[in-house]
Amino acid sequence: MTDESLQPLSCAETEILRIVWGLGSGTVQDVCDGLPRQRRIAYATVQTLLRRLEKKGYVAHDAQGKAHVFKPVALKEQVIRSAVGAFIQRLFGGDAVPLVMHLAKARKLTLEDVERLKRIIEEEQG
């Protein structure tokens, strides 16, 4: 699966996928149990979201008796790359510099973050 082949995720689908990543694998009930206490989502809704994620290619399931055990098939890094790429394309026409400039100006980047970015840039330039 390539980054480009990943279909966009809703906020609820992203939340469920993050729980599956954290679990490694789990049943619908496991995912329900992994939700924050203040986040009340019905079992049937979680089941529907897992089915959507499966249809989109983010998770797969194995049948264990009557239960379906879901596991991630899309790598976290792949999903992040795809989502951030789509966001940058949508808001900035594919140019990431305005996003980084905004983060820097809004003081969302610490000096440590800037140093990490410098190291990444230096590594990429080889």
Q: What is the pLDDT of residues 9-48, one digit of tens each?
A: 999 999 999 999 999 999 999 999 999 989 889 999 999 9
Return the bridge partners of 26, or none.
Answer: 70
Q: What is the pLDDT of residues 37-79, one digit of tens each?
A: 898 899 999 999 999 999 999 999 999 999 999 999 999 999 9
Domain check: are 103 and 68 in the same one? Answer: no
CB neighbour list of residue 94: distance below 8 Å, 6 or more residues apart: 88
Instruction: Return the pLDDT at 16.
Output: 97
Return the bridge partners of 62, or none.
Answer: 69
Residue 53 maps to a domain:
yes
Q: What is the pLDDT of residues 98-107, one digit of tens each?
A: 988 888 888 7
The single-letter code of the amino acid at 17 is L
Domain check: are 110 and 68 in the same one? Answer: no
Residue ranges making up the domain that contains 68: 8-72
The single-letter code of the amino acid at 104 is A
Q: In total, how many domains does the chain have?
A: 2
Reading the block at residue 3, the tokens are 């980054």
Residue 1 maps to a domain:
no
Residue 82 maps to a domain:
no
Instruction: Return the pLDDT at 111.
Output: 86
Domain check: are 112 and 66 in the same one? Answer: no
- Nearest CA to 22 out of 60, 79, 76 is that of 76
- The answer to whether 71 and 58 are in contact (CB under 8 A) is no
Here the CATH number for the domain that contains residue 52 is 1.10.10.10
Domain check: are 16 and 67 in the same one? Answer: yes
Instruction: Return the pLDDT at 39.
Output: 87
- pTM for the whole thing? 0.80
How many angstroms separate the Cα of 71 from the Cα of each of 19, 63, 76, 113?
Answer: 10, 11, 12, 32
Domain check: are 63 and 23 in the same one? Answer: yes
Side-chain-facing half-sphere of 123: CA atoms under 13 Å: 6
